[in-house]
């Protein structure tokens, strides 16, 4: 925030040249100890600010000073644009709500991203302190960074040519005590790092409130990061090409009694399927680049690795590209129903079943022209149930959610039925009437067609060309006609394939 008297500006510049080196390690340490933050409409989430560090980290981005820096990270849940209001106030009654009589404090911020993890090994390299207007990667300077209050599109259009996602400060103490922070196109699983200052050096709370929550195209934050341990209990990977994946966790301080201190040292283990024990991986950071399926365990310590353990958590990582072994189905209704209900049944691998990987989705394909060419009839859906399906030939395609490599297809589903009308006008479309899928019969089906008075017009061969709408060479008029069919029930509904009789009607339309 720019609140410097002109006569001490030169002195500050000289101080900053020296403090850049002095604060280098502080910058890394502070960044690596960032705390989880999120915005949830159902919760009023606030976090304590920092006091007692007026020197801060010197000049960072558009911020000429960074007194009392507080470091946070966000994890993106639903993708889209996220717009936040950042406030800071003295929460006198401790209710985490800004009341009318409570004094607001100046708040400034800078944010970077996206990252695969919230833990940045080298913050000095990964979090630039300046901008690069000509994009040459050299002479990256804070002086080139804009205040989003002056240039709202500067960071949205990436004119900074760095991974600074946004930066803002109030020019005077008379300005509004709200800063606006925007992530224009966040994607699921991305992390963002935020530095928020406390120029007043007074104790209070900080709140990020997502103002576009619930709007069309708005993304969301993942509040599971507030829980100790690893946010996910399972991670699905679609094929070997998607490895490695970054897994991370934290163990923040838990208020007592008894109070559990925060973890400052970490260690990763992997389950040995032979011994059933967790073996150390040698990774001692809060995050781990996982390169193979397995069950991984993170342990946190309040002092050193192997010391006072304050928490542990596990996550199952599985390549689900081969998770679908086969696709079966059931049909609820008997043959010659008006419509049918198909329910897919997935047989998954033991690893997927044991790990709770059940997020399958299903598509229904249909052979519309009965020529062996199946096309999409119903798009992928999370429910295995397809209702209102007419008679015809179908296939069910199942896969793990959004993983095309895991797709498997059922056998052909031949639903026995009949058309509700036909139009014998010589245009080659619906010119004859016959049963749908009569060929799968152990004993040939028998079909009889009658007029409205019960007169037999045709005994039909169900595997032949069908009825052309004539009787003794004469065209029959447009009307309703009746039929009776003797058939064997389909094996998927009656394993014995018992002989049945069905009667119905259809329309002849000229």
Fold (topology level) of 421-508: Immunoglobulin-like (2.60.40)
Q: ∠146-31-75 over CA atoms, to 5°? A: 80
pLDDT tens digits for range 151-200: 999 999 999 999 999 999 986 655 568 899 999 999 998 999 999 999 99
Helix (H, G, I), strand (E, B) or coil at 21: helix
Mean pLDDT, the chain, rounded, equals: 89
For residue 181, the model assigns a pLDDT of 93
Cα–Cα distance between 464 and 439 in angstroms, integer? 10
Question: 45: pLDDT confidence band, cut at 50, 70 and 90?
Answer: confident
Cα–Cα distance between 66 and 63 in angstroms, integer? 6
Q: Does domain 6-226 have CATH number 2.40.37.10?
A: no
CATH top-level class for 323-415? mainly beta
Q: Where in the chain is the domain with CATH 2.60.40.10?
A: 323-415
Cα–Cα distance between 149 and 312 in angstroms, integer? 43
pLDDT tens digits for range 426-483: 888 899 999 999 988 888 899 999 999 999 999 999 989 999 999 999 999 999 999 9
Out of 3.10.450, 2.60.40, 3.30.420, 1.20.1280, the CATH code matching 234-321 is 2.60.40
Q: Which of 367, 397, 368, 366 is nearest to 380 (CA)?
A: 397
Contact present, 94 and 167 (Cβ < 8 Å)? no
Contact present, 165 and 183 (Cβ < 8 Å)? yes
Q: Where in the chain is the domain with CATH 2.60.120.380?
A: 6-226
Residue listed under structure tokens 């993942």: 222
pTM to 2 decimal places:
0.71
């Amino acid at each position: 925030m720019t609140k410097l008297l002109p006569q001490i500006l030169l002195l500050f510049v000289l101080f900053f040249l020296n403090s850049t080196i002095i604060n280098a390690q502080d910058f890394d340490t502070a960044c690596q100890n960032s705390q989880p933050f999120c915005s949830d409409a159902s919760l009023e989430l606030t976090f304590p600010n920092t006091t007692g560090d007026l020197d801060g980290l010197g000049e960072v981005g558009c911020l000429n000073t960074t007194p009392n820096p507080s470091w946070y990270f966000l994890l993106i849940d639903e993708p889209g644009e996220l717009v936040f209001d950042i406030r800071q106030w003295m929460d006198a009654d401790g209710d985490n709500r800004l009341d009318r009589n409570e004094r607001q404090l100046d708040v400034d911020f800078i944010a970077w991203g996206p990252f695969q993890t919230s833990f940045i090994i080298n913050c000095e390299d990964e979090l630039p302190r300046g901008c690069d207007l000509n994009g040459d990667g050299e002479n990256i300077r804070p002086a080139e960074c804009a205040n989003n209050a002056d240039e709202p599109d500067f960071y949205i259009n990436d004119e900074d040519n760095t991974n600074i996602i946004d930066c803002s400060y109030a020019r005077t103490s008379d300005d509004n005590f709200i800063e606006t922070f925007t992530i224009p196109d966040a994607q699921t699983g991305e992390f963002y790092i935020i530095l928020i200052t406390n120029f007043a050096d007074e104790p209070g709370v900080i709140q990020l409130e997502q103002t576009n929550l619930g709007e069309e195209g708005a993304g969301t934050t993942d509040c599971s990061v507030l829980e100790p341990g690893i946010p996910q209990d399972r991670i699905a990977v679609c094929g070997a090409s998607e490895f490695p994946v970054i897994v991370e966790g934290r163990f923040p301080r838990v208020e007592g009694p008894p109070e559990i201190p925060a973890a400052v040292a970490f260690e990763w283990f992997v389950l040995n399927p032979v011994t059933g024990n967790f073996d150390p991986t040698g990774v001692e950071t809060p995050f781990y680049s996982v390169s193979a399926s397995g069950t991984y365990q993170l342990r946190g310590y309040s002092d050193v690795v192997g010391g006072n353990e304050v928490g542990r958590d596990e996550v199952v990582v599985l390549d689900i590209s081969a998770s679908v072994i086969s696709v079966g189905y059931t049909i609820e209704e008997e043959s010659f129903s008006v419509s049918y209900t198909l329910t897919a049944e997935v047989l998954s691998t033991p690893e997927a079943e044991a790990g709770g990987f059940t997020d399958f989705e299903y598509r229904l394909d249909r052979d519309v022209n009965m020529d062996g060419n199946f096309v999409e009839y119903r798009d992928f859906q999370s429910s295995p149930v397809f209702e209102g399906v007419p008679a015809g030939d179908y296939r069910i395609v199942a896969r793990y959610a959004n993983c095309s490599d895991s797709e498997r297809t059922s056998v052909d589903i031949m639903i026995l039925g009949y058309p509700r009308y036909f139009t014998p006008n010589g245009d080659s479309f619906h010119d004859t009437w016959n049963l749908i899928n009569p060929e799968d019969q152990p004993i040939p089906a028998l079909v009889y067609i009658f007029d409205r008075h019960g007169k037999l017009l045709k005994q039909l061969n169900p595997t032949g060309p069908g009825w052309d709408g004539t009787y003794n060479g004469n065209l029959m008029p447009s009307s309703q006609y009746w039929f009776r069919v003797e058939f064997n029930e389909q094996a998927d509904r009656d394993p014995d394939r018992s002989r049945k009789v069905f009667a119905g009607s259809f329309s002849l339309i000229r």
